[in-house]
């Protein structure tokens, strides 16, 4: 039986007929008395509403004709109707979405005031009861219309400012530069807020998505989390799952604070990769020693034995302070040895570490190697207890197997 | 058999019944429809509920409990007169008092009730509410969501032909949002959402903090009794700000002599943080119901806290329209619960009304998270029964193996809205065996069935073998066991309820004692004298004299209290 048969009406009946038929049948199978019958009926009702004809609202829209903008007349209505029918509207598709939506918001807004103050409107049955508005309500109405006047301007300034902010990496990662959004008077309005939330998400997801291809996060956690606090993207994930593609979601969602909260009940154990690390270390040491020997032999050839010691010293310093950190903070996230073995260095959050962090790590590692007798014992304990070596613990960076992509 | 409809609120409770084709609110012993949800236990282990409890909060803060609805479904205990009480037990006191009032009013015994709960209450909190009912000797026929109850009351009061509206319910401790549609006798809830920790009490706390800041002190430096005094005064300021632009507060504490002026604008500014928290649940409901704000015919305000002018202004700006509040926002929910009770009893006059409700939270299972590189995120949440599905509901999803030769599938069942399961509530788990095969080749079909009483049943069918597994999820975390229930009944049996008839006298004495504490020299003597006189008359037990004395004494206290603020 299809939904029309269950409801006992002609296929493609209008909404009103569907609702009346549903209401009539519902009295025979109430949800608390006949759960199965109710579920079947309700499903049929929802399907009927979804597959029923899309209705274009022609009448009851005095403001549209009054405004005298025939081109815009049906567009917002269709969207509302489609939304009602359960098909999400795809506002991203439009390239000039910013300007268009802004215009629509401003457009639609004027209507509400009219509706609210229009006592002849059939829907406003409440207002008929209270023909005279109290002083406070009049003040509220004034507030509303004042807010409406600012929609167009606010949308425009949002557009220009956001575009300007994302041009500079420094500004884009400064929370203060985003604070203007909060203070826009139109942000109180639900529709404006929703449009803003989606638009800003798109902008951030897009820049991060392209920067992530070179393993870089353009807009970093603090700003993402600040904006999430403002727009609650994390609460909308189901809708965004539907609306945006995977890589756009992955450019924002994994960096939200909720992802960082510790897992309740048991932490996942990290792996140490002891032998792999030892091999990688050996390779790096071989490089270091080979070059040192090369420097030494050149110095010997030149007959400057005393200076060879200084040369080797500078070489080691260069190696520790520049070469290793550059490699570890590079796109490959590891020294030559680690790259050969297939390891990479990550920060506590699983990101690539920056140069300063990598230098610190390298210096600490060097000291650990020099004081190896003492460190050996500490490392034994640490590796058993936390699957870490001393330099990992001190610099809060870890080594893991490179994931295959 | 009358079923009682109860609104068990954070600050105030009320009850109503459906009688003779109309809803009837039940007055308490003092003649009020609202009974404060405040408990006072005196030295003789007698329980006082209502206004007495609130008055005693100043003089005996250690023996009174308020705002305990917030702790429903938790293990938190509140210590009164050396004994620990849970929120369930304290709520049962309130319910018991309401039951008594109703029995007195209707002259019949009542054993069944419909109790309203915030729509956003989770399973545990709902069960705790049911238990409170049982402890009070009421079988809870149905828990009705507060916004739904409010909508029922509106639907039957206004009788529009077809209307789609949003109910915003800001009570003492909780905020609820629901979108509903009413047509041809069907009240359909489209979506509901809310915030369990946002209510009038939070605004009051902010006002108290603001006052303390003005007199240059902090909460820690203030004695609990003084804090109670400030709280009572601020409650009054809050109410007065709904009507006037600014309120001048005379010194409350003995240690300071300054008057503090609080204006409406200041209050709106300090409460901005809370007001902005209204936004998110409202957005969620609109999104879930797939509705634009423009599609709503009406925005209805319910709950005492919606009287605040700043809240009305915010709501008006959000929806670009004036919100409506035709019925008394404090009593709407109780009226709705009363009507629901009538519906439940299948009263003739209500026979053509059907209500369909939704499940306010998402139920689902955990799935492997490929993007979890650092091991901090854990599994992803895969919803099976999306929030705001019409209940009873039943949904099926299929899941497949992720490794070659995987032997079993583990289904962890969660309730919540987060993308990551670690932020959701775990309800239980089932492990099913699957034959060895390549990854993705084996799988199981999971069916979630959720009934009107909030019971979740999980059926799993392994696709290749057809083997079925079943689990009923009933025991939510934090629920009391049978044994704990019996123990708690035993403890409560030791307590006596203060006789209802004497409540007026008790309240007057409690008020007098509170005023005595907050006044100085001459006034104290005056209060003392009057109190002694009143008690003497009570002892003589002459009914007519007592009635006259009650009136006189109340008038005296009123006049004392009124010169306080002006």
Q: What is the pLDDT of residues B305-331, one digit of tens each?
A: 888 888 888 899 899 888 887 788 889
Report which listed range, B101-110, B234-243, B351-360, B468-477, is most confident.
Answer: B101-110
CB B293 to CB A190 under 8 A?
Answer: yes
Tens of pLDDT along chain A (405 residues)? 778 888 888 887 788 888 888 888 888 888 878 888 888 888 888 888 887 766 554 444 333 333 333 333 333 333 334 333 433 434 333 344 444 454 455 544 444 444 444 434 444 444 444 456 777 788 888 888 888 888 888 899 998 999 898 888 888 888 888 988 888 888 888 889 889 999 999 999 999 988 888 878 888 888 898 898 888 888 888 888 888 888 888 888 888 876 655 554 444 456 778 888 888 989 988 998 898 888 888 877 877 767 777 888 888 889 989 999 998 888 888 888 888 888 888 877 667 788 888 999 899 888 888 887 777 888 888 777 777 788 887 887 777 777 654
Under 8 Å CB-to-CB from B405, ≥6 apart: which residues?
A: B436, B437
Under 8 Å CB-to-CB from B454, ≥6 apart: which residues?
A: B123, B126, B143, B359
B378, B433: one domain: yes
Residue burial B246-272, b: 16+ Cβ < 10 Å; e: rest: ebebeebbeeeeeebebebeebbebbe
Q: Which of A112, A125, A239 faces B320 most closely, judged by CB atoms?
A: A112
B85, B210: one domain: no
B72, B179: one domain: yes
Q: How close, in Å, is residue B337 to chain A by CA atoms?
A: 17
B398, B435: one domain: yes
B259, B402: one domain: no
C-alpha to C-alpha distance for B214 and B227, rounded to whole angstroms = 14
A53: which 2 tokens? 């004809």
CB A190 to CB B376 under 8 A?
Answer: no
B465, B323: one domain: no
Sort B163 into a burial class: Cβ within 10 Å, 0-12 / 13-18 / 19+.
buried
Tell whether B493 is covered by a domain: no
Tell me, what's the pLDDT at A67? 37
Q: Write the ipTM.
A: 0.74
Pairing of the two strands B380-385 and B363-367:
antiparallel
CATH code of B451's domain: 2.60.34.10
Put simply, whether A226 touches B (Cβ < 8 Å) is no
Tell me, what's the pLDDT at A300? 79
Q: Which of B428, B454, B473 is the last residue of a domain?
A: B473
Q: Is the peptide bond before B328 cis (omega within 30 degrees of 0)?
A: no
Put simply, whether A229 touches B (Cβ < 8 Å) is no
Whether B529 contacts B552, CB under 8 Å: no
B488: which 2 tokens? 């708690």
Tell whether B448 is covered by a domain: yes
Rg (alpha carbons) of chain B, rounded to whole number: 26
C-alpha to C-alpha distance for B356 and B62, rounded to whole angstroms = 44
CB B452 to CB A35 under 8 A?
Answer: yes
Whether B190 contacts B289, CB under 8 Å: yes
CATH code of B216's domain: 3.90.640.10
Q: Which of B358, B382, B414 is the last residue of a domain?
A: B358
Tell whether B484 is covered by a domain: no
Q: Which of A147, A237, A262 faces B419 most closely, judged by CB atoms?
A: A237
Q: Which of B322, B355, B422 faces A140 most closely, judged by CB atoms?
A: B322
Tell whether B544 is covered by a domain: yes
C-alpha to C-alpha distance for B100 and B443, rounded to whole angstroms = 56
B522, B555: one domain: yes
Tell whether B483 is covered by a domain: no
Q: What is the pLDDT of residues B184-208, one digit of tens each?
A: 888 888 888 888 888 888 999 999 9
A220: which 2 tokens? 């970093």
Band of pLDDT at residue B357, cut at 50, 70 and 90: confident
Sort B178 into a burial class: Cβ within 10 Å, 0-12 / 13-18 / 19+.
buried
C-alpha to C-alpha distance for B276 and A296, rounded to whole angstroms = 70
Residue whose entry in the numeric block shows the structure tokens 């009538």: B342
Q: In 3-state terms, what secondary structure has residue B418?
A: coil
Put simply, whether B353 touches A (Cβ < 8 Å) is no
B66, B172: one domain: yes
B55, B129: one domain: yes
Print the domain residue range for B233.
Answer: 200-275
Whether A219 contacts A252, CB under 8 Å: no
B211, B137: one domain: no
- How many structural domains comprise chain B? 4
Q: In 3-state terms, what secondary structure has residue B551?
A: helix
C-alpha to C-alpha distance for A312 and A294, rounded to whole angstroms = 10
Closest CA relative to residue B183, chosen from A172, A19, A234, A211: A19
Tell whether B480 is covered by a domain: no
B210, B342: one domain: no
Q: Which of B241, B275, B309 is the last residue of a domain?
A: B275
CB B373 to CB A137 under 8 A?
Answer: no
Tell whether B479 is covered by a domain: no
Closest CA relative to residue B14, chosen from B344, B424, B434, B304: B304
Domains, chain A, ordered by start: 3-51 (1.10.287.110), 96-259 (no CATH), 274-401 (no CATH)
DSSP assignment string, B237-300? HHHHHTTSSEEEEPP-STT----EEEEHHHHHHHTHHHHHTTHHHHHHHHHHHT--GGG-SEEE
Chain-centre distance for alpha carbon A170? 19
Phi and psi, residue B527, nearest 5°: -60, -45
Tell whether B103 is covered by a domain: yes
Q: How close, in Å, is residue A398 to chain B by CA atoms?
A: 10
Phi and psi, residue B4, nearest 5°: -90, 135
Put simply, whether B242 touches A (Cβ < 8 Å) is no
Mean pLDDT value across residues B271-281: 87
Q: How close, in Å, is residue B198 to chain A by CA atoms?
A: 17
B340, B409: one domain: no
Tell me, what's the pLDDT at B372? 66
CATH code of B93's domain: 3.30.420.40
């Amino acid at each position: 039986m299809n939904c029309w048969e269950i409801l006992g009406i002609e296929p493609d009946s209008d909404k009103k007929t569907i609702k009346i038929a549903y209401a009539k049948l519902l009295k025979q199978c109430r949800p608390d008395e006949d759960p199965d019958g109710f579920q079947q009926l309700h499903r049929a009702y929802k399907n009927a509403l979804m597959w029923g004809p899309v209705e274009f609202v022609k009448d009851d829209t005095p403001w549209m004709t009054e405004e005298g903008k025939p081109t815009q007349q049906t567009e917002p209505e269709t969207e509302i109707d489609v939304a009602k029918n359960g098909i999400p509207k795809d506002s991203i598709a439009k390239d000039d979405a910013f300007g268009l939506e802004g215009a629509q918001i401003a457009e639609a807004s004027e209507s509400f005031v009219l509706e609210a103050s229009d006592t002849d409107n059939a829907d406003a049955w409440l207002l008929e009861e209270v023909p005279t508005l109290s002083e406070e309500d009049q003040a509220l109405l004034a507030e509303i219309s004042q807010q409406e006047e600012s929609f167009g301007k606010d949308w425009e300034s949002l557009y220009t400012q956001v575009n300007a902010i994302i041009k500079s990496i420094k500004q884009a990662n400064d929370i203060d530069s985003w604070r203007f959004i909060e203070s826009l008077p139109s942000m109180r309005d639900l529709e404006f807020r929703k449009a803003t939330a989606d638009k800003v998400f798109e902008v951030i997801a897009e820049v991060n998505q392209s920067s992530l291809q070179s393993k870089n996060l353009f807009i970093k956690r603090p700003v993402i989390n600040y904006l999430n606090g403002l727009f609650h993207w994390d609460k909308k994930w189901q809708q965004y799952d539907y609306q945006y593609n995977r890589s756009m979601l992955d450019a924002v969602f994994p960096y939200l604070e909720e992802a960082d909260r510790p897992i309740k009940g048991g932490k996942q154990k990290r792996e140490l990769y002891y032998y792999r690390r030892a091999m990688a270390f050996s390779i790096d040491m071989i490089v270091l020693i080979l070059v040192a020997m090369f420097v030494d032999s050149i110095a010997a050839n030149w007959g400057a034995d005393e200076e060879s010691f200084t040369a080797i010293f500078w070489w080691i310093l260069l190696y520790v302070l520049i070469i290793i950190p550059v490699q570890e903070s590079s796109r490959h996230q590891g020294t030559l040895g680690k790259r050969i073995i297939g390891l990479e260095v990550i920060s506590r959050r699983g990101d690539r570490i920056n140069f300063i962090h990598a230098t610190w790590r390298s210096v600490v590692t060097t000291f650990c190697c020099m004081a190896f007798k003492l460190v050996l014992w500490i490392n034994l304990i640490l590796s058993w207890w936390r699957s870490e070596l001393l330099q990992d613990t001190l610099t809060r960076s870890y080594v893991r197997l490179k994931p295959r992509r | 058999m009358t079923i009682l409809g109860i609104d068990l609120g954070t600050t105030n409770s009320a009850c109503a019944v459906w009688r003779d084709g109309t809803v009837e609110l039940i007055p308490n012993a003092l003649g009020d429809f609202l009974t404060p949800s405040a408990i006072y236990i005196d030295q003789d282990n007698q329980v006082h509920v209502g206004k007495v409890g609130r008055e005693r909060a100043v003089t005996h803060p250690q023996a009174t409990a308020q705002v305990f609805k917030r702790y429903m479904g938790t293990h938190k205990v509140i210590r009164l007169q050396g004994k620990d009480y849970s929120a369930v037990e304290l709520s049962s006191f309130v319910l018991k008092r309401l039951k008594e009032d109703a029995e007195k009013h209707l002259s019949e015994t009542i054993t069944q009730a419909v109790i309203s709960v915030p729509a956003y209450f989770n399973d545990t909190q709902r069960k705790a509410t049911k238990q409170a009912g049982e402890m009070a000797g009421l079988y809870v026929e149905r828990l009705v969501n507060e916004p739904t109850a409010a909508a029922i009351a509106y639907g039957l009061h206004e009788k529009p032909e077809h209307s789609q509206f949003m109910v915003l319910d800001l009570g003492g401790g909780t905020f609820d949002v629901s979108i509903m549609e009413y047509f041809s006798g069907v009240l359909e809830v489209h979506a509901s959402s809310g915030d369990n920790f946002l209510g009038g009490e939070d605004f009051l706390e902010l006002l108290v903090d603001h006052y303390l800041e003005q007199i240059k002190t902090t909460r820690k430096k203030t004695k609990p009794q003084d804090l109670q005094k400030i709280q009572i005064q601020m409650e009054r300021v809050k109410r007065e700000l709904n009507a006037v632009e600014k309120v001048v507060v005379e010194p409350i504490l003995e240690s300071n002599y300054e008057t503090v002026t609080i204006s409406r604008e200041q209050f709106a500014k300090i409460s901005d943080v809370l007001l902005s928290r209204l936004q998110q649940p409202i957005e969620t409901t609109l999104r879930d119901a797939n509705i634009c704000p423009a599609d709503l015919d009406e925005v209805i305000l319910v709950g005492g806290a919606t009287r605040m002018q700043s809240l009305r202004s915010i709501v008006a700006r959000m929806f670009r329209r004036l919100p409506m509040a035709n019925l008394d926002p404090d009593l709407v929910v109780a009226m709705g619960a009363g009507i629901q009770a009538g519906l439940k009893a299948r009263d003739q006059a209500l026979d053509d009304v059907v209500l369909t409700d939704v499940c306010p939270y998402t139920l689902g299972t955990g799935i492997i998270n490929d993007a979890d590189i650092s091991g901090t995120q854990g599994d992803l949440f895969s919803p099976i029964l999306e929030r705001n599905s019409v209940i009873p509901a039943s949904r099926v999803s299929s899941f497949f193996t992720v490794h070659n030769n995987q032997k079993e599938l583990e289904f962890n069942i969660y309730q919540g809205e987060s993308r990551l399961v670690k932020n959701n509530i775990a309800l239980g788990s089932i492990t099913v065996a699957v034959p060895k095969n390549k990854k993705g080749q084996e799988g199981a079909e999971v069916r979630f069935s959720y009934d009107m009483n909030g019971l979740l049943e999980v059926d799993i069918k392994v696709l290749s073998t057809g083997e079925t597994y079943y689990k009923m999820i009933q025991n939510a975390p934090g629920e009391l066991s049978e044994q704990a229930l019996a123990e708690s009944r035993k403890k409560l049996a030791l307590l006596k309820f203060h006789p209802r008839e004497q409540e007026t006298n008790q309240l007057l004495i409690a008020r007098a004692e509170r005023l005595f504490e907050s006044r100085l020299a001459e006034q104290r003597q005056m209060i003392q004298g009057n109190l002694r006189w009143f008690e003497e008359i009570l002892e003589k037990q002459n009914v007519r004299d007592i009635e006259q004395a009650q009136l006189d004494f109340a008038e005296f206290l009123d006049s004392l209290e009124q010169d306080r603020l002006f």
